[in-house]
Amino acid sequence: MLKKTITYDDFNGVSCTEDFFFNLTEAEITQLQLSENGGYTEWVKSIANARDNKTLAKIFKDIITLSYGEKSTDGKFFRKTDKDGYNLVNDFIQTEAFSKLYMELITDPDKAAEFMNGIMPESLKAAMAEQKAIEDKQNHPAITQNH
């Protein structure tokens, strides 16, 4: 889970600083992976490599809206809808806080990577790091020299 502190001016011109929470579960990430041929991760990589900014901008909006929610005070729940089924993100996307976050993600690759890493469950971060290490080893085998 990622807690993002955002300072923004509300529509009354008042400066506000608030904490916002973003999270994707393993189940949600699996759904994303299965939603695209070759997997969502590979699809996003191919778009990033192609420099398709229009599609990347849509992906960031989708990721923000999929991951936004409110953590319960006891930490047992991460609610994305209220008791009547209303999506909490509908209010968030109408704030300047959303606009600031969105613009940060589409203009700063480091902040985008930090956000994407922050919303993932720890178990998936470890698995992805392990997979990347394997791929790096396959793509760049160590050169050993005997002296």
pLDDT at 127: 66
pLDDT at 144 over 50: no
pLDDT at position 1 is 93
Q: What is the pLDDT of residue 80?
A: 96
| Closest listed residue to residue 63, CA positions, set 38, 95, 40 | 40
pLDDT digits (tens, 9 = 90+) for 70-129: 999 999 999 999 999 999 999 999 999 999 999 999 988 889 889 988 998 887 767 666
Q: Tell me if 102 sits within 8 A of 59, measured CB to CB.
A: no
Residue 146 pLDDT > 70: no
Domain boundaries, the chain: 2-139
The structure's pTM equals: 0.79
What is the distance between the terminal CA atoms of the chain, rounded to a whole angstrom? 49
The whole-number pLDDT of residue 131 equals 67
Pull the structure tokens for residue 26: 């393993």
3-state helix, strand and coil shares in percent for the chain, rounded to the nearest 5: 55, 15, 30
pLDDT for res 64: 95
Query: SS3 for 18?
Result: strand
At residue 30, the pLDDT reads 85
Report the 10 Å Cβ neighbour count for 22.
23
pLDDT for the residue 35: 82
Dump pLDDT digits (tens) for 28-86: 888 888 887 777 777 777 767 767 788 888 888 989 999 999 999 999 999 999 999 99
